[in-house]
Structure 1
Amino acid sequence: MKEDLHHYLRDIRAAVVWKLDGLSDYDVRRPLTPTGTNLLGLVKHLTTVELLYFGYAFERHFPEEVAWFSKDAEPNMDMWATADESRSYIVDLYHRACAHADSTIEELPLETVGHVEWWPDGKPTLHRVLIHVIAESNRHAGHADIVRELVDGSVGLREGNDFMPPVDEAWWADYRAKVVKAAGP
């Protein structure tokens, strides 16, 4: 069971990082929603998620200092990249945070109890945390998919298999027109 859950987490991590491929620095940073959602910010936020849930919650603290990973950080600081935080820095840090999380997942039994002070019961098992992080990562991968589509029209889960029907642009235009018509005035 743990191996299956870990597999799904690894898959969605790769999908999120893939969403940055081929884009300019501006395109990975630019906010495309009223709340500022952007691709690099999603990767930065998921770095925080990995560090919180697989590090902090199980007293397996990450060995590096991460500026935005503190109780004193500005709200939403992990949802966008500052000018001095390069894409490579954030992606590399995400990979290191994931490797740190992987060691927690691999070394601890699913029944291990952690501590998450902001959860009602505060004492989740590794199993529950793993499911939570998979769900949160998938949620943000969905955000990334929409943001990437807004940037350049690219969609899908992974390179070489986007999980979309094999149709042309004209079909998509007709399809969208049907959806618009069905939505009403």
Structure 2
Amino acid sequence: MIDDFAKAYLHEDLREIREVMVRKLDGLSEYDVRRPLTTTGTNLLGLVKHLTLTESRYFGEVFGRPFPRPLPHWEDLSQRGEDLWVTEHETRAEIIEGYRLAWEHADATIAALAVDAPGHVPWWPRPDVKLFNVLVHVLTETNRHAGHADVLREQLDGTVEATGKDAAFWEQRRAEIERAALKA
């Protein structure tokens, strides 16, 4: 009973945060969704592309359920980080479509397997896992990148996810925090 509850709970949280990631792209230009906003080049569309690889790999090869599209092999060091940015030849629509395809594949894996189904993550120090471990890992990874996306989006146009607060509130709050920082 608790296994079914845990699996359903984690899966629903994953579904919700996926939608948040895609919403972060709404209303932005092609340049803004792609442009590097940190020293390391972090950008919104690249985060979505990265999460596509994350879901397809973790809910695919880890459980012997290959993703229908080719993936770079995890041991290929030359490919590391290529999933964190988008070339000029890749479209926003293609990236989002790929992410949604990864969701479908992941959802099918989650539906087909018990929460204690065994998997193998060869790049982890303790590679033998259960679906539960992977659900927690992917949910954590997606939430982590959603936090990055929140900050990037706020940097781009000041959009803050559904807080109910207006720009004047945030101006006042920022000024209050700045005063406290200066006094410290």
Give me the whole-angstrom Cα distance separating, in 1, the residues matched to 2:70 and 2:169. Answer: 50
Aligned partner of 2:68 among 63, 68, 92: 63
Deviations 1:114-150 (A, max 9, x none): 0011222111100111011101100000101110111
- The share of aligned pairs that are identical, in percent, is 51
Alpha carbons 2:153, 2:160 under 8 Å: kept: yes
CA deviation after TM superposition for structure 1 residue 171, in Å? 2.6
Q: Number of residue pairs matched?
A: 176
| Gaps in structure 2 of 5+ consecutive residues | none
Whether 1:50 and 2:55 are equivalent positions in the alignment is yes
Pairing of 1:1-185 with structure 2 (within 5 A): 1=5, 2-66=7-71, 69-70=72-73, 71-72=75-76, 73-156=78-161, 162=162, 164=163, 166-184=164-182
Query: What is the match of residue 159 of structure 1?
Result: none
Unpaired stretches in structure 1, ≥5 consecutive residues: 157-161
CA distance in 2, matches of 1:52, 1:140: 17
Normalized against structure 1, the TM-score is what?
0.91
Compute the TM-score of the two structures, normalised by the length of structure 2: 0.91
- Pairwise CA RMSD: 1.3
State the 4+ residue runs in structure 1 displaced beyond 6 angstroms.
none
How much has 1:74 moved relative to structure 2? 2.8
Contact 2:57/2:67, CA 8 A, preserved across alignment: no
CA-CA distance at 1:110 after TM superposition:
0.6
Of Structure 1 and Structure 2, the greater helix share is in: 2
SS of 1:118's equivalent in the other structure is: coil
| Alpha-carbon shift at residue 81 of structure 1 (Å) | 0.3
